[in-house]
């Protein structure tokens, strides 16, 4: 019987472990897969489930045989979580995927499995699946994803040119059921030395051995003048990149070695052996006689075999949903698990920042001198709101993260104390300061080299943003109801907050809204110019008003910026994010400053900063710009689940009338702030 997704009449699934029934996450995934989990004896039409080949599985196997009930074996998918289930973590690890195999199990070579049947019988040649496979492999590599992702990609690995020998947890079921034992590991190490008599041998320890959960088959006792034992919490992708050959028994890392372009030497019978992608030192069962490509192997093992769970929409999803969710949580953990010392953070923002950083301690210290001293004492990076970085912080010999709102921020203004759903953490500079490098420049440059399969995610993101009319603040107003001349070019000039850091750092010689309007009129004397004041200025919260906007044909107040972009032929701006939002929608943009989206060949730049001009030499397409600016650079927070999330989830939240994260106290303070706008310098 197949798992049935969303059936109106679920099939009862008898669990043989009370802990499985108590596991709300597991129970929910099974329910979504079309089952009703329960304890007890199976009745007619019921199925029985067990966890892999654990000793407790004997009970379920006996029940299945006695009552002639189908047996499903459960296991974690090949992407699981930050840390193993047994690891002590601040937030317990919940798997993003589940394997539910009715035939056998992927690591049991003594009989067929659903995966083996997929790899044997499925054509695995659908063009969409092949495209997804290419993008999926690139995602695993770029985000350094594997079964357990709780490691730092920057952790040093041995110098390239070694033979990589993969250890496993001693007694793991995948070893014995993969036709191997301790002697196979010993033979593997010997053969690696004989095959490569002059090369260095690096043994990679298993994460469970490093965490003290279970020993492996190797240890530091195996080290010699040629052999080193490496148990650092490093990226397996980095290790694979530095290897000249890979030796493995049944480890999942052998699968990832194939995805990385290796042809591993295999001393067991794992699921990835026997398909023409590995050198199999022991005969693999005759059931596997088909030659596959690595993309086809990926389709079977990652797209078709597991059940993937989407925690943000509480539904079964695709591989991409699970991978993006795990990547977002992993990125947050990698950045935050060591904690930070934060300074320059306004009181109302601290709760939102703490929710973003749930994987590590966050200590607030208002005094910059004390913050620097505390960070040095605790060996934690400094975190500072970007506009409040002091000379003392710049001079500190410490890692510094500059924090600022992201580009898909909220439903409501920051000046109204609506907390952000996206933030940026930049340890090089900040996106609005072109005088120094920033991580957004790195992200856009790297995105310019991404394959088209990967950039499809950005193309879909662009299409959804356009379709949903999403912007930074998503201030919903009525429809734009005025006529525009059909025989004139329509120029939209967005006003900005004139004392905003993006103007102070990023503008050219034109630094006021009045001057920008004059420049637009001079450049386009016959055009019809629309001027839209900034929402914070309209609300009386920030400076930037134009007393007499004589160069504008029409001043549009309290209007939806996205609707205005849709009416415009060109946007003329200093550094406004509205210029980026116009690019997303195919509208031409002229800049009189150096916003993050300028200098890449996509805008008409009138005052580009010389330093930025020298650095921004890549020529990304629009989707590469979007990938760097909206996918790679910011971090996102889901107010519904309270977790780090992918950008697509934030799009869902911004398009729905759900929680914004704003608290009652914030709303009252925002009203008071509006009433006392002329005294805003007191709290700003």
Do 549 and 514 contact (CB within 8 A), yes or no? Answer: yes
More reliable by pLDDT, 664 or 156: 156
CA distance 72 to 66: 15
Three-state secondary structure along 420-450?
Answer: CCEEEEECCCCCCCCCCCCHHHHHHHHHCCC
pLDDT at 442: 98
pLDDT at 301: 98
Quick one: average pLDDT of 525-544? 81
Token representation of residue 415: 């000046």
Do 387 and 424 contact (CB within 8 A), yes or no? Answer: no
pLDDT at 541: 60
> CA angle, corner 117, sides to 115 and 121, nearest 5?
125
pLDDT at 678: 33
pLDDT 10s digits, 38-48: 999 999 999 99
pLDDT at 207: 83
Quick one: average pLDDT of 546-565? 88
Confidence label for 585 from pLDDT (cuts 50, 70 and 90) = very high
Q: Locate the DSSP E strands across 305-398.
A: 307-310, 315-317, 340-343, 362-364, 382-385
pLDDT at 543: 67
One of 1.20.140, 3.40.50, 3.10.450, 3.40.190 is the CATH number of 452-654, namely 3.40.50
pLDDT at 192 over 50: yes
pLDDT at 87: 65
Confidence label for 90 from pLDDT (cuts 50, 70 and 90) = low
More reliable by pLDDT, 302 or 679: 302
> Look-up: residue for tokens 């049935």?
4
Do 445 and 596 contact (CB within 8 A), yes or no? Answer: no
pLDDT at 656 over 80: yes
Quick one: average pLDDT of 237-265? 98
Nearest C-alpha neighbor of 542 from the set 513, 575, 570, 521: 513
Do 447 and 627 contact (CB within 8 A), yes or no? Answer: yes
The architecture CATH gives domain 141-289: 3-Layer(aba) Sandwich (3.40)
Token representation of residue 240: 């694979």
More reliable by pLDDT, 89 or 178: 178
pLDDT 10s digits, 117-131: 999 999 999 999 999
pLDDT 10s digits, 295-345: 999 999 999 999 999 999 999 999 999 999 999 999 999 999 999 999 999
Q: What are the sequence ranges of the domains in the chain?
A: 141-289, 317-444+664-674, 452-654
pLDDT at 134: 97
pLDDT at 92 over 80: no
Quick one: average pLDDT of 4-10? 51
Quick one: average pLDDT of 541-553? 78
141-289 and 452-654: same fold? yes
Q: How far is CA 317 from CA 12, 307, 346, 534, in A?
A: 22, 8, 38, 40
Confidence label for 558 from pLDDT (cuts 50, 70 and 90) = confident
Specify the 3-state DSSP secondary structure of 253. Answer: helix
pLDDT at 683: 37
Quick one: average pLDDT of 520-530? 97
pLDDT at 597 over 80: yes
The rounded mean pLDDT for the chain is 91
pLDDT 10s digits, 401-412: 999 999 999 876
Confidence label for 478 from pLDDT (cuts 50, 70 and 90) = low
């Amino acid at each position: 019987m197949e798992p049935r997704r969303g059936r109106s009449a679920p099939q009862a699934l008898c669990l043989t472990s009370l802990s499985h029934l108590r596991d709300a996450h597991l129970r929910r995934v099974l329910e979504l897969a079309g089952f009703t989990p329960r304890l007890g004896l199976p009745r007619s039409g019921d199925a029985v489930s067990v966890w892999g080949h654990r000793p407790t599985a004997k009970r379920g196997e006996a029940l299945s045989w006695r009552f002639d009930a189908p047996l499903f074996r459960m296991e974690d998918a090949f992407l699981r979580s930050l840390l193993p289930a047994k690891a002590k973590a601040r937030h317990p690890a919940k798997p993003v995927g589940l394997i539910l195999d009715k035939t056998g199990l992927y690591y049991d070579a003594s009989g067929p499995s659903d995966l083996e049947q997929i790899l044997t019988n499925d054509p695995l040649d659908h063009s969409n699946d092949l495209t997804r496979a290419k993008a999926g492999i690139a995602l695993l590599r770029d985000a350094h994803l594997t079964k357990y992702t709780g490691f730092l990609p920057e952790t040093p690995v041995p110098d390239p040119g070694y033979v990589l020998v993969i250890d496993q947890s001693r007694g793991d079921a995948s070893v014995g059921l993969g036709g191997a034992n301790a002697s196979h590991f010993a033979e593997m190490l010997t053969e690696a030395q004989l095959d490569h008599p002059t090369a260095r041998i690096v043994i990679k320890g298993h994460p469970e051995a490093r965490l003290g959960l279970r020993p492996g088959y190797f240890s530091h006792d195996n080290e010699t003048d040629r052999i080193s034992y490496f148990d650092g919490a490093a990226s397996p992708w980095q290790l694979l990149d530095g290897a000249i050959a890979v030796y493995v028994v049944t480890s999942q890392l052998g699968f990832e070695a194939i995805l990385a372009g290796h042809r591993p030497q295999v001393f067991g019978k794992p699921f990835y052996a026997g398909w023409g992608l590995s050198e199999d030192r022991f005969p693999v069962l005759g059931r596997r006689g088909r030659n596959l490509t690595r993309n086809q192997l990926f389709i079977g093992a990652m797209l078709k075999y597991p059940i993937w769970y989407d925690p943000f929409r509480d539904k079964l999803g695709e591989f991409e949903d699970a991978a993006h969710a795990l990547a977002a949580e992993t990125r947050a953990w990698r950045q935050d698990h060591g904690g930070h010392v934060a300074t320059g953070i306004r009181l109302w923002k601290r709760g939102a920042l703490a929710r973003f950083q749930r994987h590590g301690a966050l200590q607030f210290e208002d005094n910059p001198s004390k913050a620097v001293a505390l960070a040095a004492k605790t060996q934690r990076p400094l975190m500072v709101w970007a506009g409040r970085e002091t000379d003392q912080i710049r001079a500190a010999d410490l890692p510094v993260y500059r924090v600022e709102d992201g580009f898909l921020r909220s439903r409501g203004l920051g000046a109204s104390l609506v907390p952000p759903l996206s933030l940026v953490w930049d340890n090089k500079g900040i996106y609005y300061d072109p005088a120094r490098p920033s991580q957004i420049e790195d992200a856009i440059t790297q995105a310019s080299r991404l394959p088209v399969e990967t950039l499809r995610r950005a193309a879909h993101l662009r299409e959804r943003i356009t379709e949903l009319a999403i912007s930074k603040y998503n201030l919903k107003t009525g429809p734009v109801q005025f006529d525009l001349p059909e025989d004139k070019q329509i120029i939209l000039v967005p006003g900005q907050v004139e004392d905003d850091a993006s103007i102070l750092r990023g503008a050219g010689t034109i630094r006021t809204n009045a001057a920008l309007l004059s420049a637009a009129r001079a450049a386009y004397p016959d055009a019809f110019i629309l001027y839209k004041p900034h929402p914070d200025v309209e609300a009386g919260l920030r400076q930037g008003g134009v007393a007499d906007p004589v160069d504008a044909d029409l001043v549009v107040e309290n209007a939806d910026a996205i609707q205005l972009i849709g009416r415009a032929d060109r946007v003329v701006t200093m550094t406004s994010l509205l210029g980026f939002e116009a690019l997303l929608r195919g509208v031409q943009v002229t800049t009189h400053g150096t916003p993050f989206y300028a200098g890449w060949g996509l805008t008409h730049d009138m005052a580009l900063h010389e330093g930025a001009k020298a650095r921004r030499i890549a020529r990304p397409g629009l989707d590469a710009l979007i990938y760097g600016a909206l996918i790679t650079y910011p971090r996102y927070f889901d107010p519904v689940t309270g977790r780090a999330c992918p950008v697509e989830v934030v799009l869902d939240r911004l398009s729905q009338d759900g929680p914004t994260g704003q608290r009652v106290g914030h709303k009252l303070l925002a009203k008071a702030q509006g009433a006392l706008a002329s005294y805003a310098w007191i709290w700003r």
